[in-house]
Amino acid sequence: MDDVVASHAAAVRLVRAAEQIKRDFARAIAPSGLSVPAARTLLLIDAPMPMREVSERLACDKSYITRIADELEERGLVRRVSGDDRRVQLLELTPAGTRLRRSLFDAFAATNPVARRLGPADRRALDRTLDLLPPD
């Protein structure tokens, strides 16, 4: 029962740490003017990617990707291009998208608490702990 309380506290702390990471991320990408999910999508697209795959990787509904793609396309950061299967639309970075993506990576690296506060050994310890928790 002490165990319950300790586990509860640890879970709360873990959630708090995640929220801090998210706040730092939001702050890091704010100058870009992108919404958080649009920035997450931009970071995800390392090569032209079907919108369905984006929705799977972000673990959200496909209808939501339509919005994000609209936002990124209006900003000239991605293009929709048709796949071989003509139902499929791939999101492809424009040159401007590629540049912004790189700068978002740098900004995130500069603020991400995991990068700033954890040394390699600490990070390995974190990885081992996360290995124990269920994926997805």
Partner DNA sequence: TATTGTTATACTCTATAACTATA
Partner DNA sequence: TATAGTTATAGAGTATAACAATA
Structure tokens at 9: 């506290």
Of 32 and 118, which has the nearer Cβ to DNA?
32
Question: In whole angstroms, how close is the CB of 129 to DNA at the nearest point?
Answer: 24
- Residue 63 interacting with DNA (CB under 7 A): yes
- The residues with which 92 forms a beta bridge, in sequence order, are 79
Q: How many residues bind DNA (CB under 7 A)?
A: 28
- Residue 67 interacting with DNA (CB under 7 A): yes
Residues in 91-120 at the binding interface with DNA, rule: CB under 7 A = none
- Residue 60 interacting with DNA (CB under 7 A): yes
Buried b (16+ CB within 10 A) or exposed e, 60-72: eeeeebeebbebb
- Residue 59 interacting with DNA (CB under 7 A): yes
Closest CA to 80 of 53, 50, 55, 101: 50
